[in-house]
Structures are given as structure tokens and as C-alpha cells.
Structure 1
């Protein structure tokens, strides 16, 4: 089976772009409409998003089912179809909420369950397919490429949909969602068509019942250690998400516009970090080779140091270069995140049998649970600290320093995980690699 070239990788990136375009409508646009236009409590969209995040625990099942059926492409396309249907139903539920809140919320619950199932099925098997078809030396760069394409999908959809939603009406929201969904399905079909050809025989080796498959993955010391690392690192990664902009306002006296720019600077840094991993794995490969593991460990260490500096900086006064600090945080976050995706793809092809989907599902479930917990625990921790002390720099700073410590612990966990894949199905621990 010939590994995918960059054209094939970019085609699969179209699927990731499509996933991002749908998710941004459901988690950002529809969130705003519920809270602003319908004047509903902000907790409602929060609970709906938490519901779809909770369904990500099904990722190992989706991945294993594709392993067994030897038809990963069908699970990607089917998942995208369910995701699009859920998004369109969610947009319809908002129109219903305007006249009958209880019925609209009930429809939205069903819609967000569909969104979660569709995302879990499509995203898990997309990464598993990448793991199967991309050469090990390209996996970190491939992870960067597809994630950058996802960010592009988020940005383009946000801008174009925003233009076409004005003047706002529920009918416009439904129409825009349906059009974006149709485009997403088209991108998905173009992205996966023919990509699994030649990999089916390998996938057929992975047959067996689900419990046995999970036990096999969890009993693999590399997979187990990596899952624990992913949970710890992604928990630290997402705990900062909802408290960074309030920190800028409370501690540095930033206006809403200034704190929004601060968040934008973090995203700019993350994109830069992703590009660095991509460039190092493509243009610079003939001059220097930076192992995936080095990016993962270095990204975690850099993120930890940046968060600790951010926590201490607020206590040192308004002269702290908070914008530069946040850009550095974003840069190290971005490098770590896409390198971790590359590591996931490398480790997904390990073990004694073909379990790419099951392994990627386990890693994805660990990531999703950490993401959901991170957003919640970050806000709770700040509220607890603010109840204990009126010193806002100390309250926020303590939380950021704790997050930084968790990143440093994650770096130590990652440093103990090494792997070598001399041939398919022989991933193993290699101390110090």
C-alpha cells in the first residue's frame, strides 16, 4: 500500500475543513442567537454543547465498528451526513423555540445528540484513515495541515455565514445552515473518494468484539500511557479557554475590544505554532529532522512556562507584556496540539492487530472528556479563588500557575513515551527515543 502524497493528505483535510464549518455554526452562531435574539439563559447552549461533547465517549465504538467492517470511508461519509442533519435540525429548533421554548429545547437536545454522533463517527475515522495511509515521517506535518484547514473552515464559514445572516431571521439561519451543510457534504465526498482503496485488506485483520478490542488497546502500555497523557495535556490546554479574556479585563483593565484582540493574539500564535510544525516536516526536512516526540514535549513545556509567566505577570503590574506572553502561549499550544495529533496517528497503527479506529477512538474520547472538563473546571477554579481572596491577580494567577504545572506534568508523561514502528503492528516502547 503506497503512502498518501500531499495531494491525498490535502484532500482528506477537506473533510476536516467541512467538520469545522458545521461546528462553528452550532457552537458559535446558534449559541449567540439563543442568548441574544431569543434572550434565553446562557446555560442552555452551554448544556447543549456539553451534551454533544458527552457523546464523544462513543468514539471508540465508532472506530471499532469501522475496523470490523473494513469500510472506514462509509463511516466518515455517514457521520458527516448525520452531523449535517443534526445542524439543520438544530437551526430549525431555534425557530421553534421562538414560539414554544420547551418544544424547541426538546428538538435541540435531539439535534445536538446527532451532532455529537456525527462528529464522533466522521472525525475518529478520518484520523484513523490518515493514520493508515500517511507515512510516519509525515504524520506531524499532515496533522498540522489538516488542522490548519479546519481553522480555515472555521474562519471562512464564520465570515461568509455572518454576512449572509444579516438582516437576521430564523429562515435565513436555516437556509445558511443547509447551504453550508451541502457544501460540507460535497467537500467530504471529494476528500475521501478512493482514499481507502488498497487499505481494506489491512482493516479486515481487526475483527473481534468491542470489549475485547478495548481491552487489547488499554492493555498496550504505550496506548494506555498516551491516553493518560492526552487527558492531562488537553485538560491543561482547555482550562484557560474561558478565563483568558476575563483575566485581561479584571487584571489588566482591558476593554471588551482589547480582550477580544488578546484572544485573537492567542489564536494567531496557535496558527504560527502549527505552521512551524508543518514547515519543519516539509520544507526543512532535508536539513533537520525534529521528532514528533520533541514537538510534543517541547510544546507542553513551553505552554507550562508561558502559563506560569502569565499567572505571575498579573501580580507584577500593568507593565507586564501580556500580549507577547499570550502569543507565546498560543504558539506553544499550537505546536503541541498538532504534534499530539501526529503522535496519535503514529500510535494508532501500533499493537498486534489492525485497531486504528479503536485506538483513535480511545485517544479521541480522552481528548473530548478533557476538553469538556477543562472549560468547566477553569471557570469554577477562578470563582473559588475569587471567593477566597479579593486579590484578582492572585486569584487568576493561582489558576494559571496550576494549569502551567499540569502542562509540565504532561511533558514529563510524554517524555516517558517512546515508540518505534519498524513495520506495521509492532509499535513498542523505546526509552528515550
Structure 2
């Protein structure tokens, strides 16, 4: 007999865990990035490289998922991952004074911290999605994935605004106190949300045990490369997510260097962006264009609109680098987040439809390949953007133009992605609702 399925309250409780993950990741990828570049005058490539490394460590996700499968219970793996993530965030913060003092130790400490962060996200996130897969009814899986994703963004927004308000006036002890408070609150929230929620898995149903075909990643990749639609969609995912992530590591330094934002103000600016992302997700979700009933044509329109809207917002930031303080920066950032949210949700809707195009026996593998393309893009995008700014400043000595070139390059990538979306999202196969959770996982 299968385990008792979760109702909406249980799904929301798991969404709280996802919110906690988002909160701690925001702390190290956004706030710590700003502090390294502006307050400590370190090259932007340093935090970008550390974030890229934490994405590389997340390639361990299959191992964590296998471990939670073998253990027959996922809650201990989720809590272990959350504890590892919290400790890693504190280690990363503690590496700052050591880096500022010079020598190798600080950099080693930072690498250790971000390794723990990547492993913690992998362990907690993978096991959390596996728990959703095993204890949420198929008809509710798409909605469950949507709810947990929106709650993750909500956690990022709340943490960005609260941490931004508490960290001013900036000092290292104050940063350590805020980071410790966020880490502790996130872990305790996760622990309380998970209490008693997982039912014992006496026996896995036959339909669950037969979903994963025995095929290696290399074989799946070769199979996909033989299919024009799948091959082009892989390129689309990589380019669009590269454009999506290139501004991650430079947006707060941009606000600090050219608009004289304080650490708290720039952190709140990140909250503004993620608020826009949240509004974009909700809009597409409410209109039914991305999940459940979205047709390929409607998804294509939302994807193209989101990509072009993101390109327009990025061109606005390129102009802001020249205009300066009179530019409506917050409104520009809100527009960027909104367009990003519209594009991202619609793109996942199209991904789900294409995943089911070859039947359930290949949906998980196809999503795994596209997920790998997304991870590579996320891991390299922030680094490319930061290195681009550093090179531009070093070669020309002109900070505004360095940011202009990078933002304009991102806009160009989004335009190319919109053009690719004209073809790769033309599928006659309706979205397979039963595959949507596997797509998110």
C-alpha cells in the first residue's frame, strides 16, 4: 500500500522548507556578494566564482537523491542538508575578515563554506522534491511545484528586505549577527514544518518504481541530439538561462558603485527584483498559460514576451549606467524581475510539454538533460557577467561603460532566446500533467 498522500496544508508546509532554502541562498549569493565587491573592494569575479562553484557542487544531487531513496525516509536528509547549508553560510561570512587580512586561509575557508552551501542545497532540495513526488497526488503535483517555487521566491523577498533593514549601518559583527539569525530561523522553520509530515513508505507502488528507465546520461544526451526539437530546446534553455543569470552577481555592486546605495539599500533592491519575479509568476499561473491548460501557442507568446521584456529592462539598465542617479532604477529592476518571472514560468510549462512528447519513459531523462543545461548556465552566467565587468573596468578604467556592455550583451542573448522560442516551443503534444513534478525535480 502506498503512503498517505499530502493535502494542501502539507504541501504548503513543504513550501516553507523551500522558502527557508531560498532565504539562506539569497544571503550568500546576493548580500555577501555586494559586501565583498563594495565594502572590501574585492574583484567581482571572486564571489561570482564562489557561486559558480556552489552550482558545480550541486552536481551531487543524484547521489543525495539515491541516499534518501535507500534510507526509505527523506526527512533526515532534508534536515541534514538544511544544517549543512546554514553552517556553510556562516563559514562563508566568517571567511571575509580572513580574506581581507590577506593570505590563502581566507580563500580556502570561503571555498569550504560555498562547498557546504552547494552540498546542503543539493541534499535538502533533492530530497524535498522527492518527498513531494512520493506523497503528492499526480493531479496536484503541478500545483504543488508551483506553490513551492513561489514560496521560495517569497522567502527570498522577505529575507532580502528584513536583512537589508537590519544590516545598516554596516559592520562585520552586524553582518555576522544578521546571518546567524537568518540561518537559525531558516533551520528551525524547516524542522517545525517537517515534524510528522512524512508518512512511512511501506512499499513503493509499481507505477512509481517503473518510471525511471535504465539509461545513462551520455546515452540520453545522444538520443536527444538526434531529435531536432529537443536539441534546439536544449540550446534555448542554456542561452535563456545564461542571460537570466548574468546580472545576478553585478546588480548590487552596480547600485553601490554608480548609485551610491548602501548595503542595506542594495539588498532591498534585490528584494524589489524578486518581488517582480513573483508578480510575473503569479500572473502567468493565474491566467493558466504555464501550468495545466496552457497551449503551446500561448506558452510561446508568454516566453517570447518575457524574453523581450527582459531585454528591454536590461537595455534600460545599460542606459542607467550612463544617465546615473536620475534614472528610475527601482522601477527598472521591478520590470526586469517581472519579465524574468513571466519568461521562467512559461518556459517551464513548455519544457513540461516537450518532456511528455516522447512518453513517460523518457520524460525524466529529458528534463534531467535540460536541468543540466540550466545548471551549467546558472553556474557560468554570474561568473561571465562579473568577469566582464572586471575586464571592462581594468581595460578602460570606465565603470559605467563596463556595466553598459554587460547589460547590453544580456539583452542580446534574450533577443536570440526569443527568436529560438519561435521554433522550439512549437509542439503539437499537450502538456502531460503527470510529468510536471518530474520536470521541476
Same fold (TM over 0.5): yes
The answer as to whether partners of 2:30 and 2:267 remain within 8 angstroms in 1 is: no
Q: 1:280 aligns with which of 279, 287, 297?
A: 287
Query: Deviation of residue 18 (structure 1)?
Result: 3.1
Residues 359-417 of structure 1, C-alpha deviations (whole Å, 9 max, x = no match): 44433332222223222222332344445656665543333222111001111222222
Distance 1:319 1:88, change over 3 A: closer
Q: 1:238 aligns with which of 238, 245, 251?
A: 245
Looking at structure 2, the residues matched to 33 and 318 of structure 1 have their Cα atoms a distance apart, in angstroms, of 21
Q: Show the counterpart of 2:149.
A: 147
Looking at structure 2, the residues matched to 243 and 305 of structure 1 have their Cα atoms a distance apart, in angstroms, of 18
Distance 1:86 1:131, change over 3 A: closer
Query: Deviation of residue 332 (structure 1)?
Result: 0.5
Name which of structure 1's ranges 268-277 and 27-36 shifts more when overlaid on structure 2: 27-36
Looking at structure 1, the residues matched to 296 and 233 of structure 2 have their Cα atoms a distance apart, in angstroms, of 22
Looking at structure 1, the residues matched to 95 and 254 of structure 2 have their Cα atoms a distance apart, in angstroms, of 37
Looking at structure 2, the residues matched to 51 and 43 of structure 1 have their Cα atoms a distance apart, in angstroms, of 12
Looking at structure 2, the residues matched to 317 and 426 of structure 1 have their Cα atoms a distance apart, in angstroms, of 47
Matches within 5 A, 1:53-72: 53-59=55-61, 65=66
* Count of paired positions: 421
Looking at structure 1, the residues matched to 95 and 252 of structure 2 have their Cα atoms a distance apart, in angstroms, of 33
The answer as to whether partners of 1:302 and 1:329 remain within 8 angstroms in 2 is: yes
Q: Show the counterpart of 1:413.
A: 420
TM-score (norm. length: structure 2): 0.70
Q: Show the counterpart of 1:91.
A: 90
Q: 2:190 aligns with which of 176, 184, 203?
A: 184
Matches within 5 A, 1:322-401: 322-349=329-356, 351-354=358-361, 357-386=364-393, 394-401=401-408
Note the residue ranges of structure 1 that are not aligned, 5 or more in a row.
428-433
The answer as to whether partners of 1:293 and 1:414 remain within 8 angstroms in 2 is: yes
Q: Show the counterpart of 2:439.
A: none
Query: Deviation of residue 81 (structure 1)?
Result: 1.9
Looking at structure 1, the residues matched to 201 and 120 of structure 2 have their Cα atoms a distance apart, in angstroms, of 20
Q: Show the counterpart of 1:431.
A: none
Q: Show the counterpart of 2:114.
A: 112
Residues 187-245 of structure 1, C-alpha deviations (whole Å, 9 max, x = no match): 35666658999866234242425344554555555444333222111111121233344
Residues 14-60 of structure 1, C-alpha deviations (whole Å, 9 max, x = no match): 34223223424554677789999999998766554332111233446
Note the residue ranges of structure 2 that are not aligned, 5 or more in a row.
437-441
Q: 1:21 aligns with which of 20, 23, 28?
A: 23
Looking at structure 1, the residues matched to 431 and 9 of structure 2 have their Cα atoms a distance apart, in angstroms, of 25
TM-score (norm. length: structure 1): 0.71
Alignment root-mean-square deviation, CA: 5.2
